[in-house]
């Protein structure tokens, strides 16, 4: 597992969270497991970008790695 704080490359983009209904990736970012195939693909295609500093996560995003 490789924890990475990631943000949407385009903050206006709406990215559904995997395995959930009605939950979306927060524009402010969150921790993801960059070794997971889903997150790895999004980081690889540029949909998500790795952030160097962990900012304040939005209230709807839990502080755990998904």
Burial 35-65 (b: 16+ CB within 10 A, else e): ebeebbebbeeebbeeeeeeeeeeeebeeeb
Q: What is the pTM of this model?
A: 0.75
User: In the predicted model, what is the mean pLDDT of residues 42-52?
Assistant: 95
DSSP tag of 63:
S
pLDDT value, residue 35: 97
pLDDT at 25: 97
């Amino acid at each position: 597992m490789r924890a990475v704080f990631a943000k949407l490359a385009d903050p206006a983009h709406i990215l559904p969270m995997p395995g959930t209904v009605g939950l979306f990736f927060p524009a402010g970012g969150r921790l993801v497991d960059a070794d997971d195939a889903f997150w790895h693909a999004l980081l690889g295609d540029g949909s998500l970008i790795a952030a160097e500093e962990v900012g304040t996560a939005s209230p709807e995003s839990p502080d755990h790695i998904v």
